[in-house]
Every structure is written in C-alpha cells, then in structure tokens.
Amino acid sequence: MFSEQTKIGINGSIKIPGDKSISHRSIIIPSIASGICEVSNILKSDDVLRTMNAFIEMGVEIKEENKKIIINGKGLDALTKPKNELYLGNSGTSARLLTGLLASQKFETVLTGDKSLSSRPMKRITKPLIEMGAKIEDQNGKLPLRIKGAILNNCKTQIDIPSAQIKSGLILAALNTEGISCIKEKHVTRNHTEIMLETFGADISTKKFGNSSEIIINGKKELTPKNIDVPSDLSSSSFFIVAALINKNSNVTLKNININPTRNGLLIALERMGANIKIFNQKNRAGEIVADINVKSSELNGCELDEKMAKLMIDEFPILSIAASQANSPSYFNGLDELRVKESDRLELINNNLNRCGCYSKIKNNDLFINPIKNKQIINSEIRTDFDHRIAMSFAVLGSKIGKLHINESNSINTSFPSFKEQFNRAGGNLT
C-alpha cells in the first residue's frame, strides 16, 4: 500500500468499527452463558473471526441475522471437543483468553497460530494456570499449546506484567473453578472482561488500591446472557485523531467511542501535547464509558511520558510516535518493554521506520527518544511492518503528512480494521 500527502486535510464524521477487545469478549462470554445473546456492532476483523470460529468448532451455535451476531450459549462447562486444532491466526487475545478458558473444560485442545503469534510468549499465562492445576504442554514457552482440560484449584495470584490478556485468561479459568479465586494485578489494565461478566451476573468484584487492583471471583456460577452493543474502538480511532492533528485544515468527529479510563492514555498524552480535542455526549453503556470526539488541526509540542502512562496505552504508542514526529519539540517515552512482545518488536519498528522517514529517533533501555522531522528528506520510503497492523496504519498516517511511503504487508490491517483504507480515503487521505 502507498500513502501520499493529503492536500485538503482529514475531515468529516468517521465510521469507526466496534472495539476489538470488547468484540473478542462479546463472543467468549456469551458462548459460556446459558441462553441466547444478540451482539450489535461487533468488529468483523480477522482476529475476531478467529475467536468466533473457535467457538463454532467447540459446538456453540453462532449466526448472523439483521446485522447482529446471535450466540446460543452452552454454559460454563458445556463446550465440546473440537474435531481439529484451533488455529488462531495472529490473535494474541484469542490465544491467551482461550488458554485460560480451556484449562478447566472436559477435553483436550491444541491451539496453533501463524508465524507471528507462534513467536509470542505464552508462559506468562500458562505458568499461573499450571499453578492452579492446569495441564498444558507448550513448545519452548510458545505455541502450539496442548491443553488437557482438568479440574482446577482456586487461586491467589499476583500478576506483575501489565496485561489484560493474562488477567482475563485467569478470570475465565476461575469462573469454572469451585471456590473463591483472587487475582491481584500490580498495574491496573483494561477491565472489559470484569465489566461484561458483571453484567452477565458473574460473582465478581474489583477493589482498587492506587495503581493496583484485586479481582475476586466466586466460581461455578452460571452466567445469564445480556444483549451487547459494542462501542467503537478508541485504538482504531487513534489513527484518524492523529491524522487530523498533524494535517492542516482538518476537522473530524468520531462517534460512540469507548473512552474506558483503563485505556484512555492516548487522549491524555495528546492533550498534554496541546491537541485540540473535545470530548462530548458522554454516557454509560453497560458499564463502559462512551463519548463523541471532535479533533482539529493542532500545533503539537513534545512531551515526556513515564512508564505508568505506558501501561494505559501500550497499543497506541506507534501512532503517538507519529504525532511526536510532527511536534515542535522532542518527546521521551519511557518503559516501553511490552512493545517488544506484541505482534512484532514494535519498539524497533517504530524507531527504524521513523529514522527512514528523516526523523531522529533513538532507543535506550526500552525508552524512546523522538526528535521531530524538520523539513528533512525521506531517506527510505519502504516501511517495514513485520505484518503488524498498527505499524502499517501508523505510517500510512505519517505518509499523509510527509509524502509518499510504501507500506509493506499492509494486508495485516485486516486483523483489526478491514475498512481502514476506505474510511481514510473517504476522510481525505490518499492511500493506493
């Protein structure tokens, strides 16, 4: 895919697809509830479809009617053994959440993935599950995983790595385990699993202690299905937000965006940088905070973010780095080690690609320094993505500002935002 400069700015009301994290959970949780659930505005991306297909393979009836997904849930302990291995493509959310869920089922399952997913660390979820009594075999700490369903013991577990995927996998295991389990996270992460389970009647509660939290689950309580309207995705919105900020004569409005306070770090960071962002029409939708966002062209300043901020917005650092490359002063982003174990080594890709585009960028001890582009020539227009959707979309946005960039493996965008090219061009972008 080629991205070229836009002449007229980024404008209009953008249709942002359903939240990716919530879409995954909108399949998983209704599938283990007892009864029928209707899901509206689900994200039909490659990753989410992997989760959906996995549950169809395990005997859950899922169909589409009138643009809604209808899920006939089987109950906590009623999934059936799939005929084949469950192939999860590039979806880390599918892999880690299903590992927790399947650890307590009555059958054996093998989880596999593509080359990228098969390189990502899985011991961070398998280790605490094995301490609960799970029987899991891995390949040097990675996929494929062979999960032999077992009766688990309730747990008291502390999670040191800030990961909603690990936390959610453990919560799903505890749901089907007798007794009370306690999961402590050292750093609060996105809480979509807890919010949705609460609406489905799970015996779950959360206590917060500053930057940490404690989740208590009383297992073996059947879930009661509720219809779900998936809010639009803040992470997907971020590409249009930054595109509008850095391109002149821009004015975009994004509607029904999930601004859950456990993942709104990008908005906080951009406001520190002087972004002209207005949040309005705020409302509570089944525990999630949803709002409309208006963004206009802005003169941005650099900023310094500590590692606490990194935990609120780890997925958004690729696009925040694009904003930083167009600011009036340098930026320092600290504590980005988790960027190295995403779909790619995002930290290296951000750094290398920014330097190709004429920006001075440097990594030191997992911290990133960015000195903005000042009328420099593009050194190399080939953008390496390593099949990472967020890297591809981020540098497509940069191309709309600085000139023609060739985004390699841009079909990776289908994992999270299949209509990105269409929506970006409709708003005034120039992707070919």
Say if residue 375's pLDDT is above 70. Answer: no
Q: Tell me: pLDDT of 377 over 80.
A: no
Question: How confident is the model at residue 342, as a pLDDT?
Answer: 80
pLDDT confidence bin for 307, thresholds 50/70/90: confident
Confidence of residue 404 (pLDDT cuts 50, 70, 90): very high
In sequence order, the 6+-apart residues with CB closer than 8 A to the CB of 141 are: 121, 122, 123, 126
Mean pLDDT along residues 114-128: 95
pLDDT score for 420: 96
Given pLDDT bands bounded at 50, 70 and 90, which one contains residue 376?
low
For the question of residue 315 being annotated catalytic, the response is yes
Mean pLDDT of 196-214: 94
Residue 311: what pLDDT?
75
- As a whole-number percent, the residues of the chain with pLDDT over 70 amount to 99
**Distance between first and last Cα of the chain:** 6
| pLDDT tens sequence across 314-358 | 889 999 999 999 999 999 999 998 888 788 899 999 999 999 999
| 221 vs 378, residue with greater confidence | 221
Structure tokens at 19: 């939240």
| Average pLDDT value for the chain | 95
Please tell me the predicted confidence (pLDDT) of residue 329: 96
pLDDT at 198 > cutoff 70: yes
Q: Report which of 230, 225, 223 is spatially closest to residue 286, judged by C-alpha positions.
A: 230
pLDDT-derived band at 196 (thresholds 50, 70, 90) equals very high
pTM of the model: 0.94
Q: What percent of the chain has pLDDT over 90?
A: 89
Q: Which residues of 205-234 are buried (b: 16+ CB within 10 A; e: fewer)?
A: eeeeeeeebebebbbebbbebbebbbbbbb
Give me the catalytic one of 315, 337, 386, 388.
315
d(Cα 130, Cα 402) in Å, to the nearest integer? Answer: 50
Q: How far apart are CA 387 and CA 406, in angstroms?
A: 14
Please give the average per-residue pLDDT across 286-307, as a whole number. Answer: 95
What confidence tens digit (pLDDT) does each residue in 110-119 have? 999 999 999 9
Express each pLDDT in 242-282 by its tens digit.
999 999 999 999 999 999 998 899 999 999 999 999 999 99
User: What are the chain's domains?
Assistant: 2-18+231-426 (3.65.10.10), 20-220 (3.65.10.10)
